[in-house]
Amino acid sequence: MSREAAFHADLGGGSRFEIAGGTVAGTDHLAVGRPNQDAYAFRAEGGCLAAVVCDGCGSGARSEVGAALGARIVTEQVLAALRRGGELASPDTWEAVRRGALAPLRELARGMGGSLAEVVSTYLLFTVVGLAVAGEAACAFSLGDGLIALGDELLQLGPFPGNEPPYLAYGLLDRPPGGEAPRFTVHRTVPASAIRTALLATDGAHDLLESSSRALPGGGGEVGPLSRFWDDDRMFRNPDAVRRRLALINRSTARPEWKEERLVRESGLLRDDTTLVVVRRARPERA
């Protein structure tokens, strides 16, 4: 069953995971009335799990469309490749995922009419950061920038030269930037049993990292480390808990300074749209 909320994934053989996700618009986007251009999706099927976060290109006027579609499409194509017996460590598997994801995007872009390059640049540019688990193997992959935490290991992806990450939809163009269509990168392939906790994030999470020791706007403690998102059981009990925590970190507040007769304003700490998917092995008491 496809959901965009906390849920359990039973992959068989006693392998169970809890998954939660959330997203908030960045303060820079809110300031100019732009929508949140991030998206996420996750799904488990046939003993396999796929989870993805996507970040729409900031210069694309409607790239939230591509991010939302891309998150669902890439998740499905990962599961489809695994259903066909694809191995996570094989480049052929990820080429199949790439081609499989481009096919519906190509059909959509052609159906929208006009210049293909204009449709792609306006609607369909997004990055991908993901996790896949199948049988006894798991891997973290990406196409573009973002952040991956596998237990205590933190992988910061990017920035890319000119702050221009590769985008999957460049593969729709006859002449993609750089001359070649971007491919997925597999960053880590590990035994599935080694996955105890994992976090996938769009590049807005860099602000989350840098703010870990800062106070929450308006008070209420510190932002805290990324591990809070997988250590706190509440993140997996309430489908909206991850988003609420991000919103708390990114709220703007005003408090009165009575003696000085003025308002002290505090801005949210996440300038860019920020999206997380958090995965942890189901704990015995919740199995």
Would you state the pLDDT for residue 6? 64
- Residue closest to 141 by CA, chosen among 239, 75, 69, 211: 75
For the chain (287 residues), the mean pLDDT of every run of 10, in chain order, is 64 92 96 95 96 96 97 98 96 98 98 97 98 96 98 96 94 94 98 96 97 94 97 94 97 80 85 98 67
Cα–Cα separations (whole angstroms), residue 35 to 16, 26, 139, 183, 229: 35, 9, 31, 28, 24
Contact assessment for residue 56 and residue 128, using Cβ atoms and an 8 Å cutoff: no
In sequence order, what are the residues at sequence separation of 6 or more whose Cβ sits closer than 8 angstroms to the Cβ of residue 20? 5, 6, 229, 235, 236, 239, 241, 242, 277, 278
Would you state the pLDDT for residue 92? 98
Helix, coil or strand: residue 155:
strand
Would you state the pLDDT for residue 265? 81
Helix, coil or strand: residue 200:
strand
